[in-house]
Amino acid sequence: MTSQGTRMLARFREAQLPGIARLRALAAADKLPEPLSFPDREGRPAFSRALRAAGSPAVIAEYKRASPSRGVIRLDLSPQDVARMYAQNNAGAISVLTEEAHFQGSLDSLARMAFAGLPLLRKDFLIDPVQVLETAATPASALLLIMRMFEGADQVREMRELAREHGLEAVCEVFDEADLDMARWAGAEIIQVNNRDLDTLETSLDVSRRLVRTRGAGELWISASGLSAPEQVAEMGDLGFDAVLVGTSLMSQADPGAALRALAQVGRDRKAAREAERHARHEAAGRGGGNR
């Protein structure tokens, strides 16, 4: 990564500092919001379980109002509008941009989208354990940890373990092999490959194609950025990805729900075909056993 990508991450980090200072002050005064309780069910909706059940691959649909690379993307849809649209069109989970300075996001969007019943991923540039505690006070099921925002795996592990203590799953985002090594040293179970080059802001699915070759047993893999077409979703499924995260291409559509439905159907059809194949093999094995 060259100085341009480094500077961009530094800007993202700097934008986090006032919020962290505010949260630390609340914690020192014992006024930090309490972790959210779920008296009517067994905790938060399980993020990884929902993805494995939704499709092969599942689609994580993102609520994204703006970005540094695109500027304003879509401001006319409320969080509730988008959550309803995504839930009705087979999203496996919803990713929610909560970063304010560069993405025009809001932490409040998590609470406004929870009614849809889908697991929510808090997508932000989190760097401090107090932000995990902040997330635990929301309806989020998972949070994003970007490896390049941390100096070492020990910091990531601390954040990931704290998240687990509060019923949150940690999605560890990587851009290359070095990031992937850090994520694994930190004990990552969910790996998200970002296909965007931070220096040029261009995307290439070659990043996902390359990194997924090293997928480990038991890991859940997500491909993110640069995905917009059903054939791309199918390819990621063929390569071994459990899910794809799609944001800009959905939010840019006149009808994001219809666009999502087309992408999600790929994974649903593939999952149904695999289940039918397994059933056929089971039936064939049963007939064979009965003939002996």
Query: What pLDDT does 238 receive?
Result: 96
Please state the domain extents for the chain. Answer: 3-267
Q: What percent of the chain has pLDDT over 70?
A: 97
- State the Cα–Cα distance between residues 151 and 131, nearest whole angstrom: 17
Query: What pLDDT does 286 receive?
Result: 80
CATH second-level architecture of 3-267? Alpha-Beta Barrel (3.20)
Match 């994520």 to its residue by tokens: 183
Phi-psi region of 226 (alpha: psi -120 to 50; beta: other; left: phi over 0): left
Question: Out of 37-46, 101-110, 262-271, which region has the weakest mean confidence (pLDDT)?
Answer: 37-46
What do you get for the CA distance between the two ends of the chain, in Å?
A: 63
Mean predicted lDDT score pLDDT of the chain = 94
Q: What is the pLDDT of residues 81-95, one digit of tens each?
A: 999 999 999 999 999
Q: What is the pLDDT of residues 135-180, one digit of tens each?
A: 999 999 999 999 999 999 999 999 999 999 999 999 999 999 999 9
pTM: 0.94
Q: Residue 292 above 60 pLDDT?
A: no
pLDDT band at 291 (very low <50, low <70, confident <90, very high): low
pLDDT band at 290 (very low <50, low <70, confident <90, very high): low
DSSP code string of the chain: --HHHHHHHHHHHHHHHHHHHHHHHHHHTT-SPPPP--TTTTSSPPHHHHHHHH-TTEEEEEE--EETTTEE---SS-HHHHHHHHHHTT-SEEEEE---TTT---THHHHHHGGG-S-EEEES---SHHHHHHHHTSS-SEEEEEGGG-SSHHHHHHHHHHHHHTT-EEEEEESSHHHHHHHHHTT-SEEEEE-B-TTT--B-THHHHHHGGGPPTT-EEEEESS--SHHHHHHHHHHT-SEEEE-HHHHTSS-HHHHHHHHHHHHHHHHHHHHHHHHHHHHHHHHHHHT-
Query: What pLDDT does 127 receive?
Result: 98
Q: For the chain, state the CA radius of gyration.
A: 19
